Structure 1
Amino acid sequence: MPTKDLQQSRAILAETLFGDDALLRLQGESEPDDSIRIRTTLHSDPIAITGITVMCPHCGARRDWLVICDVLGRIFLRCRCAHQWHEPELTRADFNAMVGEGGQKYPSLEALARDTGHDGTLAGAYFPDKAITS
């Protein structure tokens, strides 16, 4: 039996149109590799670690946090007084439990802090969780 009869025929795929390369399109739509990749979320409730409520060492705040997760999975907390610190007891899993859906992209962490009031301008200010109606 000749070997050419044993080979299965291969399907011939249609050529992609010029400029319709899916990989190049994906690379063009994604962020550049040299960008700093961090994820953030706002967390208005108090955060308790091993039963102890986290408190800002500068102003004493106990809620309204900006929670930051960097590429290495380290978690940072930022208070409205603009004090920010690494919280080694929190993990990426803790961050994922806090993060919501969607969100807005910001060009930098400083722009995010400014727009959310975590740059020091709203230090000591607390906002009600639900709108108060009279």
Structure 2
Amino acid sequence: MPTENLQKPRAIPPETTSGDDPLLRLQAESEPEDSPRIQTTHHLDPITITGITVMCPKCGARRDWLVICDVPGRVFLRCRCAHQWHEPELTRADFKAMTGEGGQNYPSLEAIARDVGYDGTLAGTYLPADGTP
């Protein structure tokens, strides 16, 4: 008895091009062109993820973060030493919880870093916990 005819053929998914992602297309259509591309907030306290306090891998800082959320919802942490990394354990919901009603909007990451002192000029500096100079 031949076994090649016992399996039913599987459905073949339609071919899509790399630029034809329906989720990305829906997101682009639902967001106005003038919507902010980057939102940020300062987080002066330590950030703990799954019970572990976040530490900058470059300088060892444990608090005073610039938290960045971009349009796809990725969250990045940036230290005063200008080291920045994507933190996959943090989500847009976590960012919203840190900012409350909103963060400050900027046209570019370079403008953010320069304006709020996360461009490396204040490397090794901890500001007071209440945020006053």
TM-score normalised by structure 1 residue count: 0.67
- C-alpha distance in 2, partners of 1:75/1:62? 17
Q: CA deviation at 1:112?
A: 1.3
Match of 1:88 in 2: 88
Does the CA contact (< 8 Å) of 1:56 and 1:79 recur in 2? yes
The secondary structure found in structure 1 opposite 2:106 is: coil
Q: CA deviation at 1:104?
A: 4.6
The number of residues matched between the two structures is 102
Describe the shift of the 1:105–1:86 C-alpha distance in structure 2 as closer, same or farther (beyond 3 A): closer
- Identical aligned residues as a percent: 79
Does the CA contact (< 8 Å) of 2:76 and 2:87 recur in 1? yes
Over alpha carbons, which structure has the higher Rg? 1
- C-alpha distance in 2, partners of 1:77/1:45? 13
Which is further off, 52-61 or 93-102?
93-102
Does the CA contact (< 8 Å) of 2:53 and 2:62 recur in 1? yes
Describe the shift of the 1:62–1:104 C-alpha distance in structure 2 as closer, same or farther (beyond 3 A): same
Quick one: which amino acid aligns to residue 126 of structure 2? Answer: Y
Q: CA deviation at 1:92?
A: 0.9
Match of 1:126 in 2: 126
Q: CA deviation at 1:39?
A: 1.0
Quick one: which amino acid aligns to residue 111 of structure 2? Answer: A
The Cα RMSD (Å) is 2.3
Deviation digits for residues 4-55 of structure 1 (CA, Å, limit 9, x no counterpart): xxxxxxxxxxxxxxxxxxxxxxxxxxx9717761111111110000010000
Match of 2:114 in 1: 114
TM-score normalised by structure 2 residue count: 0.68
Deviation digits for residues 79-98 of structure 1 (CA, Å, limit 9, x no counterpart): 00000000000011110100
Match of 2:43 in 1: 43
Q: CA deviation at 1:72?
A: 0.9
- C-alpha distance in 1, partners of 2:34/2:103? 22
The secondary structure found in structure 1 opposite 2:129 is: coil
Q: Which has the higher contact order (CA 8 A, sep 6+)?
A: 2
Q: Stretches of 4+ moved more than 3 A in 1? A: 100-107
Quick one: which amino acid aligns to residue 74 of structure 1? Answer: R
- C-alpha distance in 2, partners of 1:58/1:110? 19
